[in-house]
Amino acid sequence: MNAEFIEALKEIAKSKEISEDFIFTTLEDALIAAYKKNYSSKNGEGNQNVVIEINRETGENHIYARKNIVEYVENDVCEISLEDAKQIDPRYEIGEVVNIEVTPKDFGRVAAQSARQVVIQRIKEAERANIYNYYIQKEHDLITGTVLRKDKNTILLNLDKIETVLGPNEQIPGEDYKFNEQIKLYVVEVKNTTKGAQVVVSRTHKDLVKRLFELEVPEIYDGTVEIKSIAREPGSRTKIAVYSNDEDVDAMGACVGPKGTRVQNIVNELKNEKIDIIKWSKLPEEYISNALSPANVLEVIITDEENKEAVVVVDESQLSLAIGKEGQNVRLAAKLTGWKIDIKSKKVEE
């Protein structure tokens, strides 16, 4: 090993975001293993306790056998007499340890060949661990991906450190993914596999909407406004129930933002998915009424509190709006509130 080899190792450590200490510790372990395999075991000294010193600038290395100083030597592989130790250094005493250099003449060549594969393998393992540790911190959070290409029904994405795929069920229906486009993704799960970190991402998960609101609305991020519930049909419509912990802060207004800019940024990210922001209430009648927005509700009747069943009365003119296209509005309201909603209409006399 020479200075060029050491410099190359340092460059690898830097590019792979691995500490130099780890690289040199790995190298030391590999060289000790190479020594024991090629020299120590051949001499019948397989149990020899050895250490290595590597100059981190020049690459020069030395192997030392560590021997305990004893009065009577019973095993000369790991013990040395006090008399012999004092010939090395008169200051030695019984119980101390002597390092005796045992570096073979051709050790550099053998060590480089033997250690290369070990070092490469350890670097790969460390790199995989670093990448996993990086992404596990992003589990259940937002991440930005760059579209690389479409492969049959899946979208290949670059997540900076690794690539992943957006499966068919995780794609917003009708969304067109363009090459090099950057999109926000929800990290559903991060797996540690034998091939490294595997990041499962989604564009359809309802918590994608939650994280986008946290990103856009400071009042949600700091806890002033809470997202109580979300119901979503990806690519079409989302209902989100919010509540303010500060009576001076309007939860719905905070989410909408000045001139609607906050919610519009989220709508744009979701490619024009409609978003209904409604006020959460601990009173089920009020909550259900709000959830059916934009329809105007005349009355909410709780028919079975235990099983969470309710009848909602609306004016005839509001019936189709309350139900929504193909039942979407009432379906999302039911998901949002957790109540089974039966809508009835009556004609209101003017």
Domains of the chain: 3-130 (3.30.1480.10), 140-202 (2.40.50.140), 205-280 (3.30.300.20), 283-350 (3.30.300.20)
CB-CB contact of 70 with 80 (8 Å): yes
What is the predicted pLDDT for the residue at 123? 84
What is the predicted pLDDT for the residue at 43? 54
Give the pair of three-digit tokens for residue 149: 């290409």
- pLDDT for 118 beyond 90: no
Model confidence band, residue 347 (pLDDT cutoffs 50, 70, 90)? confident
Model confidence pLDDT, tens digit, residues 124-174: 888 899 899 999 999 999 999 999 999 889 999 999 999 999 999 999 998
Model confidence pLDDT, tens digit, residues 166-211: 999 999 998 999 999 999 999 999 999 988 899 999 999 999 999 9
In 3D space, the residue among 271, 276, 255, 252 whose CA is nearest the CA of residue 329 turns out to be 276
- Span 227-248, average pLDDT: 97
- pLDDT for 41 beyond 60: no
3-state secondary structure of 31: helix
- Span 90-104, average pLDDT: 91
CB-neighbour burial class of residue 89 (10 A; exposed 0-12, middle 13-18, buried 19+): exposed
Model confidence band, residue 349 (pLDDT cutoffs 50, 70, 90)? low
Residue ranges with strand state E in the chain: 50-54, 61-70, 79-81, 97-101, 142-151, 154-158, 163-166, 182-193, 196-202, 225-233, 237-244, 274-279, 299-304, 309-315, 340-346
Weakest mean pLDDT among 66-70, 125-129, 290-294, 322-326:
125-129
CB-neighbour burial class of residue 268 (10 A; exposed 0-12, middle 13-18, buried 19+): exposed
Range 320-346 burial, b when 16+ CB lie within 10 A, else e: ebbbbeeeebbbbbbbbbebebebebe
C-beta pairs of 318-324 under 8 Å, 24+ apart in sequence = 318/345, 319/343, 319/345, 321/294, 321/295, 322/292, 322/295, 322/297
- pLDDT for 24 beyond 80: yes
CB-CB contact of 273 with 184 (8 Å): no
- Span 89-101, average pLDDT: 92
Q: Full-prediction pTM beyond 0.75?
A: yes
What is the predicted pLDDT for the residue at 86? 93
